Amino acid sequence: MYKNAGVFHAFFFVLPILSGLCLTCPETGRAQDIVAVLSSEAEPYRQALEGLRESMGRPVPAVVLAKDVPDFDAAVKILVLFGARASLAKYPPRTARVYCMAPGISWSDANDRKTAAFVQMAPRPQVLLSKLKEIHPGLRKLAVFWTSWSIERYCESMREAAAGLGIKLLVSQVKAAENLPEELRGLPEIPDAIWLPPDPALVTPSNFVTLKEFSTANNIAFYAPTDGLVEKGALASVSIAFREMGRAAAKAAALLLEGKSPDNPIYPEKIGITLNMSAAKDIGFVFRKEMVSSADKVLP
Amino acid sequence: MSLLSTGFVPSAQSSDDVFQFFAEEAQVTSASRIPMARKEAPATVYVVTSQDIKDSGAQTIWDALRGVPGVDVMQTRTNQGELSIRGLNKPLNNRTLILVNGRTELNTFFDFVTWESIPFTMQEIDRIEVVEGPASAVYGANAVNGVINIITKTPEQFQGGQASFVAGDYNTHIADYDYGRKLDKWAYRFGIGYRAMDRFENSDNLASRSGKFNVSTEYAPDADSKLSVSGGLTRLNTEVTSGSAGTFFNKGSEGFFETVYRNRGTKYRAYWNRYRTKLKNFTALNEGNLNSDIYYGEVEQSFSLPFGNEALIGGDVQRNSSRSTVLSKAQIQQLWALYLEDKWEISDRWSMLASGRLDGHPYTARTFSPRASLIFSPAQEHVFRLSAGTAFRNPTLLENNINTVLETPLNDPLLPFFTSVRTTTLGNRNLVSERIKTAELAHTGQFGRLTTRLAGFYYKLRKIIMSGPSETTGLVPPTMTMLTSYINSGSIEAWGGEFGLNMRLGSWASSYANYSYQRIKDLPGPRITSRQSPLNKVNAGLRAKHGGWTGDLQAGWVDRTYWIIGLNTTDMLPVKAYYLVNAHVGYGFKGRLTGLEAGISAFNLLNNSHYEVLPRISAAQPGQLGEIMHSRWTGTVSYRF
């Protein structure tokens, strides 16, 4: 038998462990040209990161931002930034940025927009309004509230699309989140529906309750920016999954790696429709059968 | 920081995750770009919005602020009110800084404001921010017990025009027209207004008449920069009381021209305030005129520092020039300031704000005003704040430089051969600034539909500037001659608090109630200033909207106050406690008439005739020359297009 059987056995014991470690390590034969930065470990950012990695088809290292910004080595060319905290931190000027899931930040906040991509949380306005019209064929007046200036710009881009679909937009600025009830009562006309945009200053539990109560009391449809809020009681949502935002960020990163400037803002292509049947019953709303059968999620 | 492996499994998205996500986003965005939510500001801040003003039917700024806890409103004449914060009431109040879009509205001579002189209409106001507590660390002189900043609407908030007409009792006529538009990179707005009304005490006599005009333009070549140029002019003739010295009509014109340029975190600002007024019927100053100009320039830079700090640094220079018949010669004042402000996000729950300002004045020592606030937010719905700081008031131009002679009747049995007193008043350039130190603890809480606010404060005001003792310089019947000037004397100590509730009553109504308590003590000397402020105040209101209808009802009760009965005496008489109920009902038309609104407002709905400051008792006891407040009904028609 082998004189060094112990070494031989150790080799066969250690090898699988080393292989497993190597499989979980970032590829060592290729520089880390893309790094993801998460504002925190909150679930939405994690889901977006998964989408980014799935779409890239390779591991992408990620850091969770605390107070200190990590040093990135010279190989890092693209930073994919998830959330406002990550978006507003300071990074090496040589890196291109993909801003994602920071609805309160507009592309004007970037220092150099030519090497930056901005992935929107809301669908393309034309798509959003078309889908809302499919859900709600009688939709003629849609109230939209905003506080963040980035959302105001989105609302402006909705106007042209709305006009083409015969929808009148009632857009109101809410100076502070607690002013929403006053603005609701101050609407110049009674809308057919309210759409709550993904405005971080406005999407609060208190405002959600206010909108839900207003909607029920006045038999007005209440459309939310995410399917999670439909679970809470909104009538429906036309939204983009966090994972899909990560996928859109991956495409933008790939373009930037090729040296191309993305066509900002970037709207993820795949959208999801979620319906809430009991919320519909509360306001006497009836979804079309075709809509119920084609929706991505229907809540009882 | 931590490295994440590639192997975690994401869980299903829940609504709580979503709320948490948006809350995190809002917290970061708010701290870096959007002005701080008022519950996280470094001082107690109340905001009265344009919607509040419209729904309440308030036609004056002080009526719009009556329901704000901690604000003492004292309507002295039909169309003049005094606003002070946490006590220190007086006619011609100069311890509260009044700003319009950050530009001072205080007259340089007396450091007070004639509200009618502000060249903006009520419907141009977007919001009124009331900062309670000393704010000299940020705003400089006169922010002794607070700041009232009136913010006007931007052109895009109009995107069209609005015309309104008000008519009512006491020959009240108010007409306003405002128009604004945003065109790609350019925006403009202009407003015209006319206001007139007769006196409560004598409806045949004019109380106030004014015409005002303003225009502003903005150019934003990109999202990071904006240039604004604006100007305005008011011609006015408004009755004001100076207290025991007499009433007068502030007649003339006041105007401004301003330019502001912002580029990312840098701001450049310059303005010119112009006053050309005559103090008609003011025998105390021989109907003097006041011609003054303020030239102001400021540079400000904001930037980020390590460890979650956001800082702001700036400096300004101001040149005041005044010419008046009550001054021996034209007076020039050169003022300057340097300031620094920093907000430190210690953690997700803790933040600290610190600011300091150094001010220079030609006659007083350099003044440093620090302020610090520690803010703790254990949950999104709760904010605790501990603040401390100092503020100051410089001597006014009048207090430094006046040179005038006043003759008043005398009726003293002990001096039977004298029928008049001729008093020479001279300014004093050796005055030092009034200084206040304060501490405050506050909490704001959200409990579903209920919002609560609680604040407790303590302050001490020292080196109070006041009229000094009169010295008899001649006794030749029938006239006694005297000499007086201004001195620093006395201190005031105060403590108190405010408690308020705001409640949403379903989707169609909201209500509020608040209580203010302020105990003020003069140290040492006669109890004068301390008794001029009410010990207790209560306010409550209800607002409802349904369909096109709006109803608003507000009630307030103000405790009694005491006022000196005349010049050269410390004798005081009370002004009884009073209650005031104001109401407004309006209707907004729909369909073809969308944009048209009509309403009826009642000031002093229950016609509780009362004084808010001591009226005249006799020729020898002028009191503070307060006017009685009767009920006034007005009707409003407005059209927005």
Model confidence, pTM: 0.72
Strands across the sheet containing A78-82: A62-64, A34-38, A78-82, A96-100, A116-119
Mean pLDDT, residues B607-624: 86
Instruction: Tell me which residues of chain B, numbers 115 to 154, contact chain A at a CB-CB cutoff of 8 Å.
Output: 127
Mean pLDDT, residues B308-331: 87
A205 CB neighbours in chain B (<8 A) are: 19
Mean pLDDT, residues B301-325: 87
Task: State the pLDDT confidence band at A265, using cuts at 50, 70 and 90.
Answer: confident
CB contact under 8 A, A43 and B504: no
Q: In one letter, which amino acid is B155?
A: P
B263 touches A: beta carbon within 8 Å: no
Mean pLDDT, residues B405-423: 80
Which residue has better confidence, B261 or B420?
B261
CA distance A203 to chain B (A): 6
Q: CA neighbours within 13 Å on the CB side: how many for B35?
A: 6
> Using one digit for the tens of pLDDT, what is the confidence trace for B447-497?
877 889 999 999 999 999 888 888 888 888 888 898 989 999 889 999 999
CATH of domain A30-121+243-257: 3.40.50.2300
Interstrand relation of B172-183 and B160-168 (parallel, antiparallel or unpaired): antiparallel
* Mean of the per-residue pLDDT values of chain A: 81
CA distance B37 to chain A (A): 7
B628 touches A: beta carbon within 8 Å: no
B616: pLDDT strictly greater than 80: yes
Distance CA B521, CA B253 (A): 39
CB contact under 8 A, A173 and B157: yes
CA distance A63 to chain B (A): 5
> Using one digit for the tens of pLDDT, what is the confidence trace for A51-107?
999 998 888 888 887 545 566 777 888 999 998 888 877 777 778 889 999 877 765
B627: pLDDT strictly greater than 80: yes
CA distance B163 to chain A (A): 17
Look-up of token digits 């803010």 = B375
Q: Which of B332, B442, B339 is nearest to B44 (CA)?
A: B442
Is A114 strand, coil or helix? helix
Mean pLDDT, residues B25-31: 63
pLDDT of res. B473: 87
Domain parsing of chain A, residue ranges: 30-121+243-257, 125-239+271-299
CA distance B232 to chain A (A): 26
Query: Which CATH superfamily, name and number, covers B16-640?
Result: TonB-dependent receptor, beta-barrel domain (2.40.170.20)
Range A125-239+271-299: architecture per CATH? 3-Layer(aba) Sandwich (3.40)
Q: Which of B492, B490, B481, B487 is nearest to B468 (CA)?
A: B487
> Using one digit for the tens of pLDDT, what is the confidence trace for A40-49?
888 889 899 9
Mean pLDDT, residues A127-139: 93
Q: What percent of chain A has pLDDT over 90?
A: 35
pLDDT of res. B39: 45
pLDDT of res. A6: 47
Structure-block tokens of residue B179: 């128009």
A227 touches B: beta carbon within 8 Å: yes
Distance CA B567, CA B243 (A): 9
Task: State the pLDDT confidence band at B234, using cuts at 50, 70 and 90.
Answer: very high
Q: Which residue in B25, B446, B451 is closest to A84 by CB distance?
A: B25
Q: Which of B205, B204, B209, B196 is nearest to B165 (CA)?
A: B196
Instruction: Tell me which residues of chain B, numbers 14 to 53, contact chain A at a CB-CB cutoff of 8 Å.
Output: 14-15, 17-26, 28-30, 32-34, 37-38, 47, 49, 51-52
CB contact under 8 A, B51 and A189: no
pLDDT of res. B109: 81
pLDDT of res. A27: 35
A150: pLDDT strictly greater than 80: no
Mean pLDDT, residues B96-121: 90
Which residue has better confidence, B133 or B608?
B608
> Using one digit for the tens of pLDDT, what is the confidence trace for B173-213?
999 999 998 777 888 999 999 999 999 988 888 999 999 99
> Using one digit for the tens of pLDDT, what is the confidence trace for B519-576?
998 887 666 777 889 999 999 999 988 778 899 999 999 999 998 887 666 788 899 9
A245: pLDDT strictly greater than 90: yes
Mean pLDDT, residues B592-602: 89
Q: Which residue in B22, B224, B507 is closest to A203 by CB distance?
A: B22
Task: State the pLDDT confidence band at B29, using cuts at 50, 70 and 90.
Answer: low
> How far is the CA of B210 from the CAs of A130, B115, B151, B175, B274, in angstroms?
52, 11, 21, 11, 16
**Is the ipTM, as predicted for this complex, more than 0.85?**
no
**How open is the CA angle B348-B352-B354, to the nearest 5 degrees?**
155
CB pairs below 8 Å between A and B: how many? 169
Strands across the sheet containing B44-49: B44-49, B125-132, B146-152, B97-100, B103-104
pLDDT of res. A29: 32
Q: What percent of chain B has pLDDT over 90?
A: 46
